[in-house]
A = this chain, B = another copy of it.
Amino acid sequence: MWMETNSKTEEETSRSRATTAQCVLNGLRLCTGDMEHMDKYMQGRFFVLQLVLWGLRGVSRVILANNPLSGALIMAALCWESRWQALLGTVGVLASTITAVIMGQDSAEVSGGHHGFNGMLVSLLMGVFSSAGDWYWWLLLPACLGSATCVFLYSGLSSVFHHWDLPVSVFPFNTIILLYLLCTGSDNPYFPHLPAIPPGALGPNDTKLIAVEVIRGIPLGVGQIYACVALGPCLLILGAVLLYSPLLAVHALLGSAVGTLAGLSMAVKPDFLYSGLSGFNGSLGCMAVGGLFFTFSWRIHLLAIANAFLSAYADIALGNLLGTVGLPACSWAATLTTTLMMLLTGSLAAYRIPVSQVMAPEDNLRSRSQWEAGNTAERESTDV
């Protein structure tokens, strides 16, 4: 209809369309991927603004992304789910980032959000396991201290892991949350918490599975990385990953499905499937291998699926083991198996990307193909 009312020629219209499309594309290119231009833009600005940027990067790093907009979306999802959890997450990410600044940690690491994501997870999980209810303000004390301690572990472990060019990933979070839960115990008068229930402990009514609920658990598995259990926020988190990298988002869902399959094959209790708890380790393992630390190819895609299965089974095993003393398995399984995959020798090791060069998988594929094209051109020119 507007074609008629408009006096522009078809050519002009198509040109304007192309321009609009390009604008959107350019805008998308600015908002997706690692958004490194933001760092340049923010340099020399107020410390508080920089801190917010570092914090948002830290928030997105939990799910292996590195994009402040994704971080903002995830914070929105957490607010949607529960404002108390969002507050805890904010406190955690800020406490650990500021501690890293005070301790004089490497500034590139701090500004990349590397010191924020462990602290955020510690703080979130303290809130999830607390049995004192929401808005129990005393909880901010251990949340701050626990988050700050993550910086010590991150810094110390990086010295060790550096020898094999491995990322520290969420080892600090997993260690600190277990120490906190062990320290307080379930009957603590100040910080009581609920004991974790092992995935293998079947109740009396756990005989039948509802297929819809199981399928619903797949997207929930992606949200469980932030301890989210409502479908809406989980989809928003998935959207945040999609914004950073579509390839990563596909692997997140795929890994969660693999984890659910593994849970079915081991007959874990239905709640474990419905809540997405059986999926999130698979999701993390699948994303790390398929999207981040290896150059994508069909062999790596298969390795990512294998790692998702391994993560999911290891999570059930560790959940059963730690459940005997009332502890959760957190993301130990995905962290350990991904570390193992990065240590692989043989022909698969050639696909491994050095930790210092890790970026959004799309960017990585592009730079790889450019580099290969350059190599080929060079070889051809040499041949002639």
Contacting B at CB under 8 A, from A160-197, are 160, 163-164, 178-180, 182-185, 187-190
Which residue of B157, B179, B184 is within 8 Å of A314 (Cβ)? B179
**Which residues of B are found within 8 Å of A344, using beta-carbon distances?**
103, 152, 155-156, 159
Which residue of B149, B314, B316 is within 8 Å of A310 (Cβ)? B149
Determine whether the beta carbon of B183 is less than 8 Å from that of A345: no
Determine whether the beta carbon of B160 is less than 8 Å from that of A164: yes
Binds B, one of A19-27, A320-328, A353-361: A320-328
**Which residues of B are found within 8 Å of A306, using beta-carbon distances?**
152
**Which residues of B are found within 8 Å of A132, using beta-carbon distances?**
none
Determine whether the beta carbon of B343 is less than 8 Å from that of A183: no
Determine whether the beta carbon of B321 is less than 8 Å from that of A324: no
A239 to B92, CA, bound (A): 43
Chain A interface bracket (under 10, 10 to 19, 20 to 34, 35 or more): 35 or more
Determine whether the beta carbon of B105 is less than 8 Å from that of A345: yes
Determine whether the beta carbon of A202 is less than 8 Å from that of B187: yes
**Which residues of B are found within 8 Å of A345, using beta-carbon distances?**
105-106, 155-156, 158-159
Determine whether the beta carbon of B346 is less than 8 Å from that of A105: yes
Does A267 lie at the interface of the complex (its beta carbon under 8 Å from any beta carbon of B)?
yes
Determine whether the beta carbon of B340 is less than 8 Å from that of A153: yes
Given A343-B157, A346-B103, A317–B183 Cβ distance below 8 Å?
yes
Contacting B at CB under 8 A, from A322-348, are 324-325, 339-348
**Which residues of B are found within 8 Å of A160, using beta-carbon distances?**
164, 343
Does A265 lie at the interface of the complex (its beta carbon under 8 Å from any beta carbon of B)?
yes
Interface centre among A160, A179, A316, A318 (most CB of B within 10 A): A179
Tell me, rounded to whole Å, the shortest Cβ–Cβ distance linking A326 to chain B.
9
Does A200 lie at the interface of the complex (its beta carbon under 8 Å from any beta carbon of B)?
yes
Q: Mark A242-279, 1 if CB is under 8 A from B, else 0.
A: 00000000000000000000000111000000000000
Interface centre among A153, A345, A347, A348 (most CB of B within 10 A): A345
- Name the CB-closest residue of B to A307: B152
Determine whether the beta carbon of A317 is less than 8 Å from that of B179: yes
A158 to B349, CA, bound (A): 13
Does A104 lie at the interface of the complex (its beta carbon under 8 Å from any beta carbon of B)?
yes
**Which residues of B are found within 8 Å of A320, using beta-carbon distances?**
182-183, 185
The contact sample of 19 A-B pairs, CB cut-off 8 A, is: A103-B344, A103-B346, A103-B348, A104-B346, A152-B306, A152-B344, A153-B340, A155-B345, A155-B346, A156-B340, A159-B164, A182-B320, A183-B313, A183-B314, A187-B200, A188-B266, A190-B267, A321-B325, A324-B325
Q: Which residues of A contact B (CB under 8 A)?
A: 103-106, 149, 152-153, 155-160, 163-164, 178-180, 182-185, 187-190, 200, 202, 265-267, 306, 310, 313-314, 316-318, 320-321, 324-325, 339-348
